[in-house]
Amino acid sequence: MRKTFLPFSPPMIGEEEIAEVVDTLRSDWITTGPKTKRFEEEFASYLGAPAALALNSCTAALHTALVTLGVGPGDEVITTPMTFAASVNVIEHVGARPVLVDVEPDTLNIDPLQIERALTPRTRAILPVHYAGHPVDLDAIFELARPRGIIVLEDAAHALPASYKGRRIGSSGNPVAFSFYATKNLTTAEGGMLTGDPEFIERARVLSLHGMSRDAWKRYDKGGSWYYEVVAPGFKYNMTDIQASLGLWQLRKLEAFQRRRREVVKKYNEAFQQVEALETPVERPEVEHAWHLYVLRLRLEALRIDRNRFIEELKARNIGTSVHFIPIHLHPYYRDKYGYKPVDFPVAYANYQRMLSLPLNPRLTDEDVADVIEAVLDVVRVYQR
């Protein structure tokens, strides 16, 4: 058995990131400035996105996008219950009504057939989440949205760098929100990015910093002016140059990070695919999975323990795991406000009860991966029916 605890998802920060942060701290700019601008440009270039806006979280990106797009009271926004609360909280923040629909059994992404059934004259937007890094069925969603003038705002918190039918998620002019939280494939500790067409991004940029007509860099840089006007009641969502310093180097390392993630996924799949008690994640042929998460699903009928006990058994074997996610309709705020019952979204609920996320990050050594595999198979061996 493994001697030390293997954490679920530690960040991978190298000497290059540390040196870049120190360089920033010794410079004249530690908040939003030249490195943030460079990070936006390099990120957009990497994806092939028309434009990008660096923010302090993916939540900020989603909220700013909804406000920029004019979504508000009286509107409905269709989204998934299989996501982190932020995806739905932002809909509440703008005064719109979140309308949850169930997910597909294989990918656990939002189901376009369920979206179609949920459409009403009040549907203003669809907010699909690329769950675990597997892109949603974008063509089917846009076929529903475009003829009706419905906005599609993609939550790509997990989906860097994922592709759908040969195109990077975030490369179109459609608004897409990314996360750089500590556990993500690219991290700035906290942070996010919003991509989209240049006119949309410039309007979002104003809202992201108090609704001011010029940002701090333009005001305080040589040749800038002290004068500004507040043109909208905006937010304080800007990224700092300290965060961007991390992002610049993480972006350069991303392809290497992804190669290692795919190697780990291959080892997991080879070990688990033929085990009766385990269901491995899918990758449809038309996508490139970002593999932010490796979500293993238990076939509980083949085991004498439930998911929670399985997680405790792995912890006893020094393997850290997590669960992604507790579905939105089970949380007290949404359950009580909208009167949801657990079975209202049967696919999401049933899969929640049998899922766990295994360690998946580029810091994993071959020995770490072998320890995870050994522990999972040992728990199955001990508790199989």
Q: 188 and 114: one domain?
A: yes
- Does residue 184 carry a catalytic annotation? yes
Q: 284 and 187: one domain?
A: no
CATH of the domain at 19: 3.40.640.10
Q: Which helix (H) or strand (E) holds 25?
A: helix 15-25
Residue 260 lies in a domain: yes
CATH of the domain at 298: 3.90.1150.10
Q: 233 and 260: one domain?
A: no
Say what the pLDDT of residue 219 is: 63
Q: How many CB atoms lie within 10 A of CB 301?
A: 9
The whole-model pTM stands at: 0.97
Q: 243 and 279: one domain?
A: no
Q: 283 and 306: one domain?
A: yes
Per-residue b or e along 214-237, where b marks 16 or more CB atoms closer than 10 Å to that residue's CB: ebbbeeeeeeeeeebeeeeebbeb
Number of domains in the chain: 2
The domain in which residue 19 lies consists of 15-251
Residue that is last in its domain, among 209, 233, 251: 251
pLDDT higher than 60, residue 216: no
Mean pLDDT across 281-290: 98
- Give the separation between CA 339 and CA 325, rounded to whole angstroms: 20
Q: What percent of the chain has pLDDT over 70?
A: 97
Q: 286 and 245: one domain?
A: no
- The pLDDT tens digits for 294-332 are 999 999 999 999 999 999 999 999 999 999 999 999 999
Mean pLDDT across 237-257: 98
Residue that is last in its domain, among 251, 281, 297: 251
Q: Which of 124, 111, 160, 93 is nearest to 333 (CA)?
A: 93
Q: 233 and 271: one domain?
A: no
Say what the pLDDT of residue 215 is: 60
| Catalytic residue of the set 3, 35, 37, 184 | 184
Mean pLDDT across 138-155: 98
- The pLDDT tens digits for 330-366 are 999 999 999 999 999 999 999 999 999 999 999 999 9
